[in-house]
């Protein structure tokens, strides 16, 4: 259940006054969600919701980062997506979540009752369309990810990942990755050693720079991009 988990993980909840001062998001549908959601804090590695739990809430990241993943019985893990501030996750059409969501770093997350969003959609066709659009957008993301997992070499996967993160996090040539190597590995369908070696290799190529293990400088986007095609 969300509340059990969240309450355990929650270390502080902003009061209503501080919420009101926040600028409203520009996101078409979910801008108004700030008004009906509650902020919650999750510490690093805290579970936000679990696989098979009721999907009674929708989440929007205020700050931090989240991984959405599935853990198989034998310990193998696939990370389906990373989410960053401003993004919405956990919206399902079915009754239950199909994946687990965890905070990658300490995160503040807006938690909205799903029923209130769905009720809004029932009255307003625009909102209904935006729910559809949101799911369609998720679909597109997973489809792109599928191409990566099905077609690409380790080097291509890492390159595609770095380009994607640079675009999403800073849209510059320098990124601070919020997630550890193991998360990157589980996202890309590789082992942590292969991710590490590939990064080193890209650095040796002078395709990227690695001031620290988490900080990446894209030195040659042409090469990184060509690795995709």
**List of residues contacting DNA (CB under 7 A):** 153-155, 180-182, 189-197, 199-200, 210, 212-214
Q: Which does 182 bind (CB under 5 to 8 A by kind): a copy of itself, DNA, none?
A: DNA
Judged by CB under 8 A, which stretch of 38-46, 59-67, 139-147, 217-225 contacts a copy of itself?
A: 139-147
Q: Write the binding mask 31 to 70 for a copy of itself: x where contact by CB under 8 A, - elsewhere.
A: ---------------------------------------x
**Structure tokens, 184:** 């990157």
Least distance between a copy of itself and beta carbon 224 (Å): 16
Q: Which of 1, 7, 119, 139 binds a copy of itself (CB under 8 A)?
A: 139
119 in contact with a copy of itself (CB under 8 A): no
Residue whose CB is less far from DNA, 56 or 156: 156
92 in contact with a copy of itself (CB under 8 A): yes
Q: Which does 94 bind (CB under 5 to 8 A by kind): a copy of itself, DNA, none?
A: a copy of itself
Residue whose CB is less far from DNA, 54 or 189: 189
Instruction: Please list the residues that pair with 88 across neighbouring strands.
Output: 60
Q: Which does 140 bind (CB under 5 to 8 A by kind): DNA, a copy of itself, none?
A: a copy of itself
Q: Which does 7 bind (CB under 5 to 8 A by kind): DNA, a copy of itself, none?
A: none
Residue whose CB is less far from a copy of itself, 60 or 145: 145
Burial of 195 (0-12, 13-18, 19+ CB in 10 A): buried
Contact 122, 53 (CB under 8 A): no
Q: Which residue from 110, 117, 132, 97 is spatially nearest to 63, judged by alpha carbons?
A: 110
3-state secondary structure the chain: CHHHHHHHHCCCCCCHHHHHHCCCCCCCCHHHHHHHCEEEEECCCCEEECCCCECCEEEEEEECCEEEEEECCCCCEEEEEEECCCCEECCCCCCECCCEEEECCCEEEEEEEHHHHHHHHHHCHHHHHHHHHHHHHHHHHHHHHHHHHHHCCHHHHHHHHHHHHHHHHCCCCEEECCCCHHHHHHHHCCCHHHHHHHHHHHHHCCCEECCCCCEEEECCHHHHHHCCC
Q: Which does 194 bind (CB under 5 to 8 A by kind): a copy of itself, DNA, none?
A: DNA
Q: Which residues bind a copy of itself (CB under 8 A)?
A: 70, 72-74, 76-78, 80, 92-94, 98-99, 121-122, 125, 128-129, 131-133, 135-136, 138-140, 142-143, 145-147, 149-151, 186, 188-189, 229
């Amino acid at each position: 259940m969300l509340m059990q988990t969240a309450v355990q993980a929650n270390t502080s909840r902003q009061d209503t006054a501080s919420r009101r001062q926040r600028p409203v998001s520009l996101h078409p549908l979910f801008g108004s969600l700030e008004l009906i959601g509650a902020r919650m804090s999750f510490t690093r590695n805290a579970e936000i919701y679990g696989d098979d739990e009721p999907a009674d809430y929708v989440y929007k990241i205020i700050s931090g980062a989240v991984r959405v993943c599935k853990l198989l019985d034998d310990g193998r893990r696939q990370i389906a997506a990373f989410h960053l501030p401003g993004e919405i996750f956990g919206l399902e059409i079915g009754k239950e979540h199909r994946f687990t969501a965890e905070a990658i770093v300490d995160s503040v997350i807006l938690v909205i009752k799903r029923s209130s969003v769905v009720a809004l959609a029932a009255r307003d066709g625009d909102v209904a369309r935006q729910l559809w659009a949101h799911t369609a957008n998720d679909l597109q993301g997973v489809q792109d990810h599928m191409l990566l997992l099905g077609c690409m070499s380790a080097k291509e996967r890492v390159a595609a990942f770095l380009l994607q993160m640079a675009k999403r996090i800073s849209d510059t040539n320098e990124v601070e990755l919020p997630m550890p190597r193991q998360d990157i590995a589980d996202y890309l369908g590789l082992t942590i050693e292969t991710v590490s070696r590939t990064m080193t290799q890209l650095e040796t190529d002078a395709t990227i720079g690695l001031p620290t293990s988490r900080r990446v400088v894209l030195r040659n986007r042409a090469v990184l991009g060509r690795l995709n095609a």
